[in-house]
Amino acid sequence: MVCREWPEIRLDEYEGVWVAAFADDEGEEIEESSLQLIGAARELADKLGTYVGVALIGSGVRKLAEEPIYYGADRVYVVDDERLSVYYPTVWGRVLYELASKYKPEVFLIPATLRGRELAPYVANSFRTGITADLTSMDVDEKGNVVLIRPPFGGFMLAHIVTRDRRPVMGSVRPNIFPTPERDESRRGEIHEERIDIPSPKGIRLLGREPILRKEEIPIEKADVIVAGGKGIGSREGFELLRRLADLLGGVVAGSRKAVDAGWIGHDKQVGQTGKAVKPNLYIAVAISGAAQHVFGIREAKRVVAINIDPDAPIFEHADYGIVGDYREVIPALIELLESMGIGRGE
Amino acid sequence: MLRMVVGIKWVPNTTSVNIDPKTGTLIREGIPSVVNPHDLEAVEMALRLKDEYGGKVTVITMSPPSAIAGLEHVLGMGADEAILVSDRAFAGADTLATSYVLAKVIERLDYDLIIFGQETIDSSTAHVGAQVASWLDLPYIYYVTHAELRDGKLVVRRSLESANETYELDLPALISVAMHSLNPRRVKISNKLRVKFENPIRTWSNQVLGLDPDCIGLRGSPTALSKIEMVPKVPRKNEIFKGDAKEAAKWLLERLKEEGLVEVG
């Protein structure tokens, strides 16, 4: 028997791999996390022998409708409506639900930006279907079921998750888990301009919105060089030392979950399964023990350097170059040497 | 007078989880459970609102009975009452089935505001808040760092990647609290004593709730685990230097220069 709270559906009516795409705050570009997801959807759709659909909703987004096609979509469903100029999770969630209900995709993926993480479970619940958070890969099993794969626990076990009896199969994906596909302006696809009844926001009003004036700082997920500190740094001041090294190397400072929990560095700079996945050329892990959930976030780093006082720290197993020693001595020695080599001078 | 319901989860303390090197399986025995730390922030927000405006804080959790220790903890912080939602029939629930049960529990309570933590440390899905809002058809907002009442409405602030936002919510509503935004208060002895004498913990099984067995637990969960595999380790060079810091710095920079990872200016 099936739960009576779930509307009856016919599984074979559901076809296609859909992605929800969002424009940036200026409405000038589609967010990179959405483009990355289109690339991942393309791969899955090819395995299933079906199409990639993109739900593009917002105000003034019609002008961006070709973009998803250049990145791999076959069909773009646009809801461009002034009433979507303000974001409300219930309204946007409802619109995504209505749009997808009309076309019945087999798979519906939502970028796990902060808004996406807020919206995705609401959309899934509207369908009375399940959802897999933060999936890291997708596959099709021998029976033709879509399998969403996520790290469930501590980062070292991958859980394969299937969705029984309900559609769409839904998942959210964190930024930078998949690469951004090549933009190809010669690709062709269909654009459907959709009219959806936009519900008025019920019981919620936006009172104010101010852009955050971030310092001219590269976000860690885009940095080429990252110097990251862990619990062993011991203080906020310790991170200043890391910052000096990062400045010399043209990089940024990041931290492990324990460093973030201790309040030495912000959560937007947390590397790991519950933080961000990073892909620098050089990752220097300082006084980070190397918990699996942290190591999971640096899989795409080209070279990993570990500096740790404990020779048995697991991080050394995940490092290309390891230095056993006190960071309070090793980092100043590195800084001194770099300065004597003329690195960082005059920049 | 604000009637608040806070949902918390009793989770294994993942920071101490390890793998059995022989069998490659998770060692679950002996891992202490804790109240999900981000849920303590949700409790803290409720208590601050209660301090400011008066009211009542009811904490709910769906869990095996071992979670009573967690409920005692949040009652010790100052919550007024707690409900352990516990039944074998609820076991194996995914977030859809979990949110369904929690929504049905909350429906039976008088509430103005539902508060969740941002996410849990064991599965970090951040699903259940939005799903409960969907079941109960409530306005909701995530990542709240500050909340206050103005003319009977809840005004909340939150930060997204590139903007700070302020929203006004009519009550009843649901919010989740941004992790790392509040410092949960300590347990007070006087509260603990009250817990001992008054026993403000109720247990609701499915006999109380009477939910359709097809909508709860494993059967009410569309998502199912089909397989678990180990994450393959990324091959690394594993060259290690031990010794003097200056020598170590030289050793490292030579290698990084060779690979073009550090450019000499």
CA distance A119 to A93: 6
- Residue B265 is predicted with a pLDDT of 52
pLDDT averaged over chain A? 93
Q: What is the mean pLDDT of residues A177-191?
A: 95
Q: Which residues contact A149 (CB under 8 A, 6 or more apart)?
A: A135, A136, A137, A138, A139, A158, A159, A160, A161
- Residue B65 is predicted with a pLDDT of 95
CA distance B74 to A293: 28
Band of residue B123 on the pLDDT scale cut at 50, 70, 90: confident
Instruction: Determine the residue type at B202.
Output: R
Q: Residue A276 pairs with which residues in a beta bridge? A: A271
CB-nearest to B166 from A118, A157, A207 is: A207
Q: Do A341 and B253 touch (CB under 8 A)?
A: yes
Distance from the A276 Cα atom to the nearest Cα atom in chain B, whole angstroms: 13
Classify burial at A273, counting beta carbons within 10 Å of its beta carbon; exposed 0-12, middle 13-18, buried 19 or more. Answer: buried
- Residue B263 is predicted with a pLDDT of 75
Neighbours of A214 (CB within 10 A): 10
Partners of B135 on chain A (C-beta within 8 Å) are 125
Q: State whether residue A59 sits within 8 Å of chain B by CB.
A: no
CB-nearest to A158 from B159, B163, B231 is: B231
Q: Do A90 and B99 touch (CB under 8 A)?
A: no
- Residue B15 is predicted with a pLDDT of 59
Residue of B124 and A59 predicted with greater confidence: A59
Residue of B7 and A1 predicted with greater confidence: B7
Q: Which residues contact B23 (CB under 8 A, 6 or more apart)?
A: none
Percentage with pLDDT > 90 across chain A: 82
Q: State whether residue B189 sits within 8 Å of chain A by CB.
A: no
Q: What is the mean pLDDT of residues B241-265?
A: 90
- For B43-78, the pLDDT digits (tens) are 999 999 999 999 999 999 999 999 999 999 999 999
Q: State whether residue B222 sits within 8 Å of chain A by CB.
A: yes
- Residue A127 is predicted with a pLDDT of 98
Per-residue b/e over A43-60, b at no fewer than 16 CB within 10 Å? bbbeebebbbbbbbbbbe
- For A248-287, the pLDDT digits (tens) are 999 999 999 999 988 899 888 999 887 888 999 999 999 9
Is the separation of the CB atoms in B141 and B158 below 8 Å? yes
- For B93-106, the pLDDT digits (tens) are 999 999 999 999 99
Band of residue A115 on the pLDDT scale cut at 50, 70, 90: very high
- Residue B182 is predicted with a pLDDT of 95
Q: What is the mean pLDDT of residues A70-89?
A: 97
pLDDT at A332 over 80: yes
- Residue B61 is predicted with a pLDDT of 98
B188-to-A18, B52, B67, B183, B196 alpha-carbon distances in Å: 51, 19, 19, 15, 13
Q: Do B265 and A343 touch (CB under 8 A)?
A: yes
Band of residue A308 on the pLDDT scale cut at 50, 70, 90: very high
- Residue B62 is predicted with a pLDDT of 97
- For A34-75, the pLDDT digits (tens) are 999 999 999 999 999 999 999 999 999 999 999 999 999 999
**pTM attached to this predicted model:** 0.89
Distance from the B84 Cα atom to the nearest Cα atom in chain A, whole angstroms: 24
Percentage with pLDDT > 70 across chain A: 97
pLDDT at B214 over 90: yes
Classify burial at B18, counting beta carbons within 10 Å of its beta carbon; exposed 0-12, middle 13-18, buried 19 or more. Answer: middle
Q: State whether residue B127 sits within 8 Å of chain A by CB.
A: yes
Q: What is the mean pLDDT of residues B115-138?
A: 95
Band of residue A187 on the pLDDT scale cut at 50, 70, 90: very high
Between positions 203 and 262 of A, the ones with CB within 8 A of B are 203-212, 214, 225, 249, 257-258, 260-261
- For A195-220, the pLDDT digits (tens) are 999 999 999 999 999 988 766 678 89
Partners of A329 on chain B (C-beta within 8 Å) are 245
Band of residue B32 on the pLDDT scale cut at 50, 70, 90: confident
CB-nearest to A345 from B167, B243, B265 is: B265
Q: What is the mean pLDDT of residues B217-225?
A: 94
pLDDT at B24 over 60: no
